[in-house]
Every structure is written in C-alpha cells, then in structure tokens.
A and B are shown apart, each in its own frame.
Chain A
Amino acid sequence: ETGVTQSPTHLIKTRGQQVTLRCSSQSGHNTVSWYQQALGQGPQFIFQYYREEENGRGNFPPRFSGLQFPNYSSELNVNALELDDSALYLCASSFKKGGRAPDEQYFGPGTRLTVT
C-alpha cells in the first residue's frame, strides 16, 4: 500500500509569483485535504476535495485554489505569493464514508515553501 506522497519537497519562490504543489493520495482514498503549517504553529485547514469538487474551505483567500483529478491526486495552486505564504503545506488523503464522524486522514511529508 503506497502512502501519501507530495512534490516537490522544497520550493523557493519570489513574492508575486505563482506556485503549484502536488499530492498523490493513498491507494483506495477518494478525498484530499490541504493544510498550511506556519513555523511554530499547528496545521490550518485550507480546503478539501471530493469527487473532483471543493467540498469545504477554511479561512483562506481565493488565490488559494485546488484541483482533484480522476485518479484522486490533487494540486494546490497559490497565486500572487506573499511572504506570509512561507510554510509547510501538508496534504492528507482519506476515504469518505459518510456519517457525522470525520474520516481518518493520512498525511504526506509536506512541501516546504519559502517566499522571498
């Protein structure tokens, strides 16, 4: 069973540029969530994708956008990068079972983004 993988591992961008981060879900999972983890902080929920549509969103501006593909892999796109976007970006995959309880999320190792 292949776990969640993310690419690239590290990335350096300049303020104002655009970036795309990629995530491959764990085998059998149909849902992908993205989190931003600033230095010294806990992860913050950006959004979740299920059946190729955004399923929920945290308190992030529209310049954070995403895609989910038919094979359940996903991309996170950030436009007009700001210095505060420097963080570890974590992807988590899960299998959406329905019901009230959250599905168990499996996290990738993350992409470290530095904006200069």
Chain B
Amino acid sequence: AQSVTQPDIHITVSEGASLELRCNYSYGATPYLFWYVQSPGQGLQLLLKYFSGDTLVQGIKGFEAEFKRSQSSFNLRKPSVHWSDAAEYFCAVGALSSGSARQLTFGSGTQLTVLP
C-alpha cells in the first residue's frame, strides 16, 4: 500500500527566507505526486504535480518541487517566502483504490509559520 511521510510537523521561517518542505513516499509503481496547500477555513488548493518527465516541477505562487526516485522524495521549495504563504502543506501520492478510482493518499501535513 502507498504511504506518504512528511517528517516536519511545524516549520518556522522569516519572510524573505528560502523554504524547503520534505516529503517521502512509498509506492511500488511510478508515483503520481502532488503538493496541496490548505489555509484556515479553506479547502485544499493544488500547488503542483508530477506525473512524468522533467523531475523539477514548477507550480503556482512561485513554488517548485523536485522528484528524486533514488530517495523516494518529492520536496517542495520556494526561494523567498511571503507572509501569505503561512498555511498547512500536504504532500500526496495518487494510486489505484479498491475499484478503478485513483485516490489520493496524503501525508499528515507541515504547518508553516512565517515571521515578519
């Protein structure tokens, strides 16, 4: 069965500093990988996804992620964090469920705090 681990429960960075959120996955086949962001009272918004091809993926809001098969990782990065980036971030892997649905399996999330 697939699983996702986000080792950092909470990260604090200063505005303008760089950011890296870690994600490790376990999946037997080619993984379909996603990063979502959730602000308080909001649903999940897709930041970026990796299906195949170039291992460095660009997303919205200046985020990027790099797929490293040898490390089973899909870390999210941003060169300069803005106060509005404070939110919870979820990494997910897409896989077949019991039927033909392709479910998302999420990690437990990383809460990002941005200091002024």
Shortest Cβ gap from A98 to chain B (Å): 10
- Supposing A4-B43, A107-B43 touch, asked if A45 and B105 sit within 8 A by C-beta, the answer is yes
Is the Cβ of A42 less than 8 Å from the Cβ of B107? yes
User: By the criterion of a CB under 8 Å from any partner CB, how many residues of chain A are at the interface?
Assistant: 29
For chain B, give the interface size range: 20 to 34
Taking the complex as formed, is A62 at the interface, i.e. its CB lies under 8 A from any CB of chain B?
no
Is the Cβ of B105 less than 8 Å from the Cβ of A102? no
- Supposing A43-B106, A48-B103 touch, asked if A109 and B41 sit within 8 A by C-beta, the answer is yes
Q: Can you list, as one digit per residue, whether each of B32-63 has a CB less than 8 Å from chain A (1) or not (0)?
A: 10001000011111100101000000000000
Residue numbers in B under 8 Å from A41 (CB-CB): 108-109
Residue numbers in B under 8 Å from A44 (CB-CB): 106
Q: Can you list, as one digit per residue, whether each of A95-107 has a CB less than 8 Å from chain B (1) or not (0)?
A: 0000001111111
Alpha-carbon distance A103/B90, docked complex (angstroms): 17
Shortest Cβ gap from B40 to chain A (Å): 10
Is the Cβ of B32 less than 8 Å from the Cβ of A101? yes
Shortest Cβ gap from B9 to chain A (Å): 8
Q: List residues of B whose CB falls within 8 A of some A CB.
A: 4, 32, 36, 41-46, 49, 51, 90, 92, 94-109
Q: List residues of A whose CB falls within 8 A of some B CB.
A: 4, 33, 35, 40-45, 47-48, 50, 54-58, 90, 92, 101-110
